[in-house]
Structure 1
Amino acid sequence: MTRDQTVEGWGVWTWPNLVTAIRLAGIPLFCYLLLATDQYVAAAVVLAVGGGSDWVDGQLARRLNQVSKLGRLLDPMVDRLYIMTALLALTYMDILPWLFTGTILVREAVLASLVLALRWHGYPPPQVHFLGKTATSIVFASFPVFVIAYLGGPSLTGATALAWALAWWGLALYWLGALVYIVQGAKLIHSVRVEARPIASA
């Protein structure tokens, strides 16, 4: 990783950014279906499609050669919004306990502090690695299953068990991925301090 690597051009009007914008529009729709209606199946579908299609805009950007600064900024932001919105909405409805929610929020706060520290030293955020992406996908996959389990009540105990298996396994990987990011960031910050250390005179 080098300092301040960026993609040239904001590239607002691109197909990948259109897909990202459509995904973004799914967030308030999910909240409305889940919190203001009893259309839980529709809410689960919107959540699964909107959050599960996070790879589409990235693939389009690479295949169409339309990688842009806006896409690099917007795509991960929408992914985070989906996770945070679903997490807080399900917690508000007492589907998820606050202990689970708090554990994820603490992890996000730790990584946000790491990003700020890297920016302070002139580095961009850590590159997303496979473990972090996998953990995020597993945690997110549990959310639509929780919604379906909530719809079915006691008759869908299998869905509830699957949702919790995904949630706890994903949470463990989520924190493991965070540790990898922290180690990477700490090495970069340490290297800056070593470079800035004055050389003792002979």
Structure 2
Amino acid sequence: MEIEKVGEPQHVVSERLLTIPNVLSILRLLGVPVFLWAILSGRDGLALLLLLLSGVTDYLDGKIARQFNMESRLGGFLDPIADRLYILATLFGLMWRDIIPVWLVVVLLARELVMAMMLLYLRSRGQVGLPVHFVGKAATFNLLYAFPLLLLAHRDDWIGDLARPVGWGFAWWGVVLYWLAAVLYAVHARIVLTQGARTVTP
């Protein structure tokens, strides 16, 4: 079952599979192993291009889906998976190359663990999941902007010097918003569970 935002009308999504946003999400998913191979093998140009394309398509699939009423259940399932796989692949690749510190990986993975435990608890209480929150999407955008810049920051020239502070700025904002989104999801989950308990109470 879908969890609706409190106080908002029911949001209807389609069962269609072949839509432009879904195709973009699938292409992003297919790009994850290619990106991981590129960054681990030192092909930074290709890795950077794939990261940039991931950020662009992540923006476009949501924009097109909302603008042209192409939101679907499949899209709602694929989009966050593609986001997380790109983030995890990038974290692993950049950490393997010693471009980002281990603590950044730990902080972001800890948030993923918290969210996984929260969703498992909701599932045990009969709820399937939570709607995507704007803060969570903003966090993802910040991280997807930060990673290419941090990759560029690895260069020993003026481009690296310019990319380094900007990349870390996006990274810090991404970390803060990522955890803020987890707190908001927890608050929303509590409201949903409380309302559900009141509904079943005779």
- Shorter-chain TM-score: which interval? 0.7 to 0.9
Greater shift in the superposed pair: 71-80 or 99-108: 71-80
Residue 13 of structure 2 is matched in structure 1 by 7
Residue 82 of structure 1 is matched in structure 2 by 86
Amino acid at match of 1:19: L
Residue 29 of structure 1 is matched in structure 2 by 34
Q: TM-score, normalised by structure 1?
A: 0.84
Greater shift in the superposed pair: 104-113 or 26-35: 26-35
Q: Deviations over 1:124-156 (max 9, x none)?
A: 322222222112211221100011111x13652
Query: Which ranges of structure 1 fall in alignment gaps of 5 or more residues?
Result: none
Q: For the residues of structure 1 that align with 2:56 and 2:124, how far apart are their CA atoms?
A: 33
Q: Deviations over 1:72-125 (max 9, x none)?
A: 211221111111111111111111111111111111111111112222222232
Residue 49 of structure 2 is matched in structure 1 by 45
Work out whether residues 51 and 144 of structure 2, in 8 Å CA contact, stay in contact via their aligned partners in 1.
no
Residue 153 of structure 1 is matched in structure 2 by 156
Residue 131 of structure 2 is matched in structure 1 by 127
Q: For the residues of structure 2 that align with 1:196 and 1:13, how far apart are their CA atoms?
A: 38
Residue 113 of structure 1 is matched in structure 2 by 117
Give the drift of 1:171.
0.7
Give the drift of 1:64.
4.2
Residue 8 of structure 2 is matched in structure 1 by none
Work out whether residues 52 and 148 of structure 2, in 8 Å CA contact, stay in contact via their aligned partners in 1.
yes
Residue 178 of structure 1 is matched in structure 2 by 182
Give the drift of 1:51.
3.0
Query: Which one of the candidate residues 19, 22, 46 is aligned to 2:24?
Result: 19
Note closer, same or farther for the CA distance 1:45–1:8 as it changes in structure 2 (3 Å cut): closer
Q: Deviations over 1:36-68 (max 9, x none)?
A: 2x3312211211111332122223334444332
Greater shift in the superposed pair: 110-119 or 50-59: 50-59
Amino acid at match of 2:156: G
Greater shift in the superposed pair: 181-190 or 117-126: 117-126
Corresponding pairs, count: 195
Q: TM-score, normalised by structure 2?
A: 0.84
Note closer, same or farther for the CA distance 1:15–1:158 as it changes in structure 2 (3 Å cut): closer
Query: Which one of the candidate residues 77, 90, 95 is aligned to 1:91?
Result: 95
Work out whether residues 40 and 96 of structure 2, in 8 Å CA contact, stay in contact via their aligned partners in 1.
no
Q: For the residues of structure 1 that align with 2:4 and 2:25, how far apart are their CA atoms?
A: 27
Query: Which ranges of structure 2 fall in alignment gaps of 5 or more residues?
Result: 6-10
The alignment yields a C-alpha RMSD, in angstroms, of 2.4
